Structure formats: C-alpha cells, structure tokens
C-alpha cells in the first residue's frame, strides 16, 4: 500500500506520478519553444467562428423557410452565444489576468458568471426584441454556435506536421 504524505511533503515531490521519473522544470526558453510548437488557441478566433456559423444558420433558415422571422431569430440566437463569449474573451485576455495564477483563476470564474448572466438576460429579452420570434430557429442557432466550443477543442488537439 502506498504511504500517504502530509501536505508539505506532497508539494516538495518532484517526481512525475505516472512514470516515477523526476519532473523537469521548463526554462524560459523551453517554455517559449513549447508555445511555438503548440500555440494557444485564441478565444477571439472561437468567437469569430461562432459568428460565422451563426450567420450561416440564419442564411440557411431564411433559405429553407423563405421567411425573415427564422433568419432574424437565428441571428439573435447567434448573438446570445457571441456577445457573452466576446465579453468573456475580452475579460480573460486583459492584462490583469496575467498578474498571478490566483488572479487568473478568479478572473475566469468572474467572466464566466458574467457570460452566463448576459446569456440569460438576452434570452429573456428575446420575445421583446425579435418580433415575430421563432424559438426553434433561435435555439437551433444557439445550439450550433455553442457547439463551436467542441470544435475548438478539436482544433486545439490537432498537431502540426
């Protein structure tokens, strides 16, 4: 049976738990090289793709139904995903978030809360702002735009050859 360490010993351990080999700390140059090989995905790219996908859903809704209400509702559904996503992207990419890991974590939680609140308010305002409103078109566009986050994970997982 594995012996438990008290908290202080666990923080001092420099072994990789999976392999048992010593953990190698990265130098500044190693970290820069790693970022060149595997650059981070910009949240602004995700927001831009969400907007483009939402516009395509709106166009498709207009072509399929022949009515503007589906297109406007789908565009509003896209806005329900894009506006809060842009607010969060702006918040988490500000200079304040790079001050420390704690500030960064709190910033992500704060901006995620803002994102949820703005999304809920936009959905509540939908019947007043979009007339006539097509809930199926709005929700379809919203669902497709939110699915872009899953594709962002796939983009992130792809390695350059």
DSSP sequence for 115-151 = HHHHHHHHHHHHHHHSSS--HHHHHHHHHHHHHHHHH
pLDDT at 14: 54
Q: What is the mean pLDDT of residues 25-34?
A: 81
Q: Max alpha carbon distance in the chain (Å)?
A: 69
Nearest to 120 by CA among 70, 78, 66, 84: 84
Confidence of residue 156 (pLDDT cuts 50, 70, 90): low
Q: Is the pLDDT of residue 11 over 80?
A: no
| Whether residue 94 is found in the same domain as residue 136 | yes
Q: What is the mean pLDDT of residues 128-148?
A: 94
Q: What is the mean pLDDT of the chain?
A: 83
Q: Is the pLDDT of residue 64 over 60?
A: yes
| Whether residue 145 is found in the same domain as residue 83 | yes
| Whether residue 14 is found in the same domain as residue 66 | no
Give the DSSP letter of residue 96. G
Query: In sequence order, what are the beta bridge partners of 22?
Result: 15
| Whether residue 69 is found in the same domain as residue 137 | yes
Q: What is the mean pLDDT of residues 139-153?
A: 91
The answer to the question of residue 1 being in a domain is no
- Which residue segment(s) compose the domain that 29 sits in? 7-36
The answer to the question of residue 2 being in a domain is no
The answer to the question of residue 72 being in a domain is yes
> Which tens digit of pLDDT belongs to each residue from 79-134?
999 999 999 999 888 777 667 778 888 888 999 999 999 999 999 999 999 999 99
- Helix ranges, the chain (H): 7-12, 28-37, 43-65, 68-92, 101-129, 135-157
The answer to the question of residue 109 being in a domain is yes
| Whether residue 23 is found in the same domain as residue 50 | no
Higher-pLDDT residue of 62 and 6 is 62
The total domain count for the chain is 2
| Whether residue 65 is found in the same domain as residue 126 | yes
The answer to the question of residue 135 being in a domain is yes
6 contact partners, CB below 8 Å, separation of at least 6: none
- Rounded Cα distance, 44 and 35, in Å: 18
| Whether residue 122 is found in the same domain as residue 146 | yes
| Whether residue 13 is found in the same domain as residue 87 | no
Angle between helix 101-129 and 68-92 (nearest 10): 160
The answer to the question of residue 13 being in a domain is yes
| Whether residue 78 is found in the same domain as residue 93 | yes
Q: Is the pLDDT of residue 1 over 70?
A: no
Q: Is the pLDDT of residue 63 over 70?
A: yes
> Which tens digit of pLDDT belongs to each residue from 32-61?
887 777 777 788 989 999 999 999 999 999
- Rounded Cα distance, 78 and 92, in Å: 21
Sign of the CA dihedral running 109, 112, 116, 118: positive
| Whether residue 47 is found in the same domain as residue 109 | yes
| Whether residue 84 is found in the same domain as residue 32 | no
pLDDT at 7: 47
| Whether residue 97 is found in the same domain as residue 140 | yes
Give the DSSP letter of residue 25. P
């Amino acid at each position: 049976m594995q012996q438990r360490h008290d908290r202080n010993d666990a923080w001092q351990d420099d072994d990789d738990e999976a392999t048992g080999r010593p953990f190698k700390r990265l130098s500044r140059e190693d970290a820069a090289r790693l970022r060149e090989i595997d650059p981070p995905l910009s949240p602004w790219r995700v927001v831009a793709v969400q907007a483009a996908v939402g516009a395509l859903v709106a166009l498709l809704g207009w072509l399929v139904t022949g009515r503007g209400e589906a297109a406007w509702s789908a565009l509003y559904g896209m806005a329900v995903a894009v506006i809060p996503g842009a607010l969060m992207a702006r918040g988490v990419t500000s200079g304040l978030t790079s001050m420390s890991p704690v500030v960064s974590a709190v910033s992500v939680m704060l901006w995620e809360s803002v994102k949820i609140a703005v999304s809920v308010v936009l959905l509540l305002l939908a019947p007043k702002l979009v007339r006539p409103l097509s809930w199926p078109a709005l929700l379809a566009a919203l669902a497709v735009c939110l699915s872009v986050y899953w594709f962002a994970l796939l983009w992130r997982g792809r390695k350059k050859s």
